[in-house]
Structure 1
């Protein structure tokens, strides 16, 4: 059964020329439904870890965790730190089915990635969404990471596969777990479909928010075992450490 929504119809307002800002309801006067004033007020991610994008007080540093244990993924790209109003936009997209919010954020992430590719960031061969557990997919009716992946795939001209990466078992929700518990919770939670080989391929994993990096780490390890030569992570927002912001 296909639970995914008809994206073309649902995001019509995001492709209409006479666009209204989705945050303040004034004319956007831009190619996407966000006015300049609201765009400037978003919590753009500034100084951050060169590896996992954790917000840091200074630029060009690697966080202590990545120094102690090099992650299985190579690089994280995140547009914002997880603060107001981005946290509200993501929640409305994910829990209230407000698709234009997700479409807008995906478009802004796509613009950022195009700029980074032009500046030398290696472009991946394939985009893969973080999969949802079957029960949660039935409850929600869609996978927000899958929607982001399809939008980015079309914008960037990079292929995507929503069936290659699978969640093999149900896991408790991660929101209220600490980093150690999250890692334990995700042991053997993912696999690559069938005997798929990713030998020599550069893969980017797509998600909405990166919190501790436990999910990204678990998936990157699985993809590396399947032969991927490099795994990057693209997400909308990165959470700071508790009390950091």
Structure 2
């Protein structure tokens, strides 16, 4: 005896097709909980440095910082500027544990990366979330970079390794420091896990916001020195230079 009726046509699943936009509360039929008008009004990053994604006035250029001191990472992939309303969404995800906002941004970043993979971007072997200091992890209760990396891993079918890199110091939060202090703050801040094997691999670091790039640089240097063939950086938002409008 069948407990379900015979029906060979496609079944419309209401909960999977009917979404409410997390920004304006309007109903949307998109696959993610954001309506098309709200998505189009996000601060999409336009012209940018070809290496670090710093916002620039012209496309296809390399910023002065990358020309003078080429970073250890190959390429930064980031969809948005760190400005309203994206900065608010990230803050609510990161500091108020409002995970649906993080999940939404993670799904949109997954779509952006898949589009790049289909065109001109090489797929990495593994995703590596930026580790959080132990004290901050205890205070916050979760690592937002690790959550983003898990969502990207599921959507892109790329392995996520949360144990490859460990943070060895409970240094002050990076957002409280200027560029020079950020670099000093990160000296010997990270280490490779014992027995980690990355020789010849293409790795991608995952974080929420890229500001000066000091954290990405420190991690990329460590990975390259340890044998990685290439390191990219995937994040949600990029800040402009200090003093420039977001």
Which category describes the TM-score, using the shorter chain as reference length? over 0.9
Shift of 1:16: 4.0
Cα shift readout 1:86-117 (whole Å, capped 9, x = no counterpart): 00000000111111100110111110111101
Question: Which residue is 1:6 aligned to?
Answer: none
Q: Which runs of 5+ in 2 are unaligned?
A: 1-14
Cα shift readout 1:199-232 (whole Å, capped 9, x = no counterpart): 0000000000000000000000111122100000
Secondary structure of 1:181's aligned partner: helix
Whether the 8 Å contact between 1:196 and 1:226 is mirrored in structure 2 is no
Shift of 1:177: 1.1
Question: Which residue is 1:38 aligned to?
Answer: 38
Count of residues in correspondence between the two structures: 231
Cα shift readout 1:65-95 (whole Å, capped 9, x = no counterpart): 0000100000000010000000000000011
Shift of 1:178: 1.1
Q: Is 2:97 the partner of 1:94?
A: no
What is the distance in 2 between the residues matched to 1:37 and 1:122? 31
Map of 1:1-245 to 2, 5 A cutoff? 16-245=16-245
TM-score by length of 1: 0.93
Q: Which structure has the greater CA radius of gyration?
A: 2
CA RMSD in angstroms comes to 0.9
Q: Which runs of 5+ in 1 are unaligned?
A: 1-14
Shift of 1:244: 1.6
What is the distance in 1 between the residues matched to 2:141 and 2:129? 16
Secondary structure of 2:49's aligned partner: coil
Whether the 8 Å contact between 2:17 and 2:29 is mirrored in structure 1 is no
TM-score by length of 2: 0.92
Secondary structure of 2:66's aligned partner: helix
What is the distance in 2 between the residues matched to 1:43 and 1:241? 16
Whether the 8 Å contact between 1:131 and 1:146 is mirrored in structure 2 is yes
